[in-house]
């Protein structure tokens, strides 16, 4: 008798749960151990900070209108429904794991918004100001982010690479 459980979805579900749990644990550690806006220097290009993001990704629309946020949240909701459908019907483990990471990250950030009214961000990457003579050659500071954001970005990138590889292979087979 064949088992009806989709093993690809099980693997993706495992990744979803891992991302969600690790994201919430790390955010809890930040909330319980750092004051708001407190900075802990980890190395010359990385800080741990306690930042609250009321906007969307990377602080965009922090001062946005209600209608802009409503449109974005509606779009995100529709995208999540689509991803969940793709997740449940996936037949290969790679897209399932990628989508699991994306959904886990999205749920982690949604949980923050429901519980705290904002997303907890704490990873702060930057390149210090490099100068040559009196000219600034390089100075770079990425907006603070979290484990959920990382899972979403990695999941989307890997899913795109997987799709490109599969589309390239199917295109060459048709010729």
Q: Is 42 helix (H, G, I), strand (E, B) or coil?
A: strand
Q: Are 146 and 121 within 8 A, CB to CB?
A: yes
Judge whether 124 counts as a catalytic residue: no
Judge whether 23 counts as a catalytic residue: no
Nearest Cα to Cα of residue 147 among 117, 96, 112: 112
Q: How many CB atoms lie within 10 A of CB 150?
A: 16
Pick the catalytic residue from 23, 112, 124, 149.
Answer: 149
Pick the catalytic residue from 23, 112, 121, 124.
Answer: 121
* Beta-bridge partners for 131: 136
Distances (CA, A) of 96 to 9, 38, 128, 139: 6, 37, 38, 38
Residue with tokens 């800080």: 47
> Could you give the residue numbers annotated as active site?
121, 149
């Amino acid at each position: 008798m064949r088992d009806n459980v989709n093993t690809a979805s099980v693997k993706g579900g495992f990744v979803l749960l891992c991302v969600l749990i690790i994201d919430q644990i790390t955010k809890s550690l930040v909330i319980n151990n750092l004051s708001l806006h407190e900075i802990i220097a980890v190395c010359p290009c990385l800080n741990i900070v306690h930042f609250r993001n009321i906007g969307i990704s990377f602080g965009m629309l922090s001062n946005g209108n209600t209608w802009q946020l409503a449109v974005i949240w509606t779009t995100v909701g529709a995208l999540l429904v689509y991803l969940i459908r793709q997740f449940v019907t996936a037949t290969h483990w790679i897209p399932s794991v990628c989508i699991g990471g994306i959904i886990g990250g999205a749920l982690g950030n949604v949980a923050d918004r429901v519980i705290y009214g904002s997303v907890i961000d704490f990873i702060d990457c930057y390149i210090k100001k490099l100068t040559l003579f009196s000219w600034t050659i390089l100075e770079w500071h990425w907006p603070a982010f979290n484990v959920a954001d990382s899972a979403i970005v990695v999941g989307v990138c890997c899913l795109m690479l997987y799709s490109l590889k599969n589309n390239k292979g199917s295109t060459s087979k048709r010729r």
